[in-house]
Amino acid sequence: MRSKARILESILKHPTTSTFIRSKTTSAQYVASRFRDPTFEKLMDKYKNYIKVISVQDLILANRNSPPSVSLEFLSRLSQKLHLNRGATAFLRKYPHIFHIFYDPVKSQPFCKLTETAVEISRQEAEAINACLSLVVERLVRLLSMSTSKSLPLRAVFKVWRELGLPDDFEDSVIARNLKIFRLCAGNEPNTHVLKLFDGMSKRDFTAAVDNWRVTECCKEDCKVERMELRYGFKQGFPSGMRLGKDFKGRVKEWQRLPYVGPYEEMGESKKTKAGVKRLEKRAVAIVHEFLSLTVEKMVEVEKISHFRKWFGIDFNIRDLFLDHPGIFYLSTKGKRHTVFLREAYERGQLIEPNPVYDVRRKLLDLVFLGRHGSVTGGSKSGEVSTRGDSQSEDENNE
């Protein structure tokens, strides 16, 4: 298990605010003026409580006592940082299928542990991750291959370890066991490390996710996308209700036809002309598109992906990049955080092509949806939970 300090560092960060000015509109105003997609907003309305549950669960599992548990006093001190608006105890009692509060007579104070169902889900997730370690290694190699220096700060990778489906101990189970692929070097700052690829590994020929889509689309008998647009374009999908003006459609079509350098190709120097800036922007879109494609749930917090910006050679405001391309990405601000989704990966609030780790995580999400419904005194011991947990209590929506 990861240390408490590392977990705390991961979950207690506040979203950063940007002072980037976009013409005469600030980034905050640009975010506020975006079109809201009801499907993604409904999903994030549920996810915001799920994220809090994960934060508390990680703190519990980080303890080595048997069974793993944390005192309510400890959680209460962190309630503001964890955004438990009504206090730790009230939050824990909202999810009796996940958390069980008990009194420790030896320490003379109440503690919280996971229910048997939640422990089993955690075990299943670890098994699903360990069963696909080869995919985990490839994800890391691909991530490093997109970097201009074929290297990334280890602390940035730590921020997205869950999104990439990495094991808790990936330093030992992935990096240390693949020394012919990865190497850790001292960073420029004290107590920092940089993860690098060996030279031979950086020359691997990877195919980006968008290229796989282009091949599939090209092979369709009813393909209606123009050849030039398909060669350089991305899958676009706009929600019903979003008004698309003639000028906007024209700009999208022009942008789709614009040539660019792919995320795994060497960029080289680009002239600071208007056309050169457009190509750089399209390459940046290609990189973040590929980044999201590598994640388990095809979503990530904007603050987390921003830590990779300079390493990927992206000289643009990441958040505005997502807003500029609403047919490819969707940005949500639910839960006091900015989260970006890869639009093409979702349909009706679920992944179109789920994976084993996502499937297990959905079980915990279903328990969050379930709230207090069907609970028994002392916590749930049921191993079967409906996959359609749409009944969410009113106080959860107000959290």
Give the residue carrying structure tokens 């990927």: 312
Structural domains in the chain plus CATH codes: 33-117 (1.10.10), 133-201 (1.10.10), 209-355 (no CATH)
Amino acid identity at 21: I
The mean pLDDT value for 55-65 works out to 92
Contact 158, 170 (CB under 8 A): no
Higher pLDDT, 25 or 7: 25
- Asked if residue 216 has pLDDT above 90, the reply is no
End-to-end CA distance of the chain: 29
pLDDT at 25: 62
Q: Is 147 helix (H, G, I), strand (E, B) or coil?
A: coil
Mean of pLDDT values over 223-230: 72
pTM score of the predicted model: 0.84
Sorting pLDDT into bands at 50, 70 and 90, what band is 374?
A: confident
Predicted pLDDT at 136: 95
The answer to whether the bond into 67 is cis (omega within 30° of 0) is: yes
Dihedral over Cα of 2, 134, 213, 284: its sign: positive
Mean per-residue pLDDT for 126-134?
Answer: 95
Q: Where are the beta strands (DSSP E) in the chain?
A: 21-22, 25-26, 69-71, 99-104, 109-114, 151-153, 182-186, 193-197, 299-301, 329-332, 339-342, 346-347, 350-351
Average pLDDT (345-364) is 95
pLDDT interval class at 6 (50, 70, 90): low
| Residue 20 pLDDT | 33
Q: Report yes or no: 313 and 148 within 8 Å, Cβ to Cβ.
A: yes
Q: Compute how many other C-beta atoms are within 10 angstroms of the C-beta atom of residue 300.
A: 23
Q: Residue 147's closest CA among 6, 308, 284, 16?
A: 308
Q: Give the pLDDT of residue 393.
A: 40
Closest by alpha carbon to 113, among 69, 62, 59?
Answer: 69
pLDDT at 396 > cutoff 60? no
Integer Cα distance of 2 and 62 in angstroms:
6
Quick: pLDDT tens for 20-57. 334 546 777 888 778 889 999 999 988 999 999 999 99
Looking at residue 36, its pLDDT comes to: 87
Q: Which residues contact 309 (CB under 8 A, 6 or more apart)?
A: 318
Strand partners, 113: 69, 100
Query: How does pLDDT run across 146-202, given as a tens digit for each residue?
Result: 999 999 999 999 999 999 999 999 999 999 999 999 999 887 777 789 999 987 666
- The average pLDDT across 88-103 equals 95
pLDDT at 89 exceeding the cut of 50: yes
CA distance 120 to 126: 10
**Tokens standing for 210?**
């968008």
The per-residue pLDDT for 271 is 65
CA distance 312 to 72: 42
Structure tokens at 111: 């503690």
- Give the tens place of pLDDT for each residue, 254-312: 999 999 999 999 877 766 788 888 899 999 999 999 999 999 999 999 999 999 999 99
Q: How far, in whole angstroms, is CA 151 from its chain's centroid?
A: 20
Element (H, E) at 30: helix 27-32
pLDDT of residue 26: 73
Q: Looking at the predicted structure, is the pLDDT value of residue 143 above 90?
A: yes
Q: How confident is the model at residue 64 (pLDDT cuts 50, 70, 90)?
A: confident
Put residue 48 in one of left, alpha, beta given phi > 0 → left and psi -120 to 50 → alpha. Answer: alpha
Residue 14 pLDDT: 38
Per the prediction, the chain carries an average pLDDT of: 85
- Render pLDDT for 71-83 as a digit per residue (tens, 0 to 9): 999 999 999 898 8
pLDDT at position 11, please? 42
Q: Are 392 and 366 in contact (CB under 8 A)?
A: no
pLDDT at 106: 85
Give the best-scoring range by mean pLDDT among 18-27, 71-80, 224-233, 376-385: 71-80
pLDDT band at residue 203, thresholds of 50, 70 and 90?
low
pLDDT at 328: 96
Percent of the chain with pLDDT over 70: 84
Radius of gyration of the chain (CA): 22
Provide φ and ψ at 91, rounded to 5°.
-65, -45
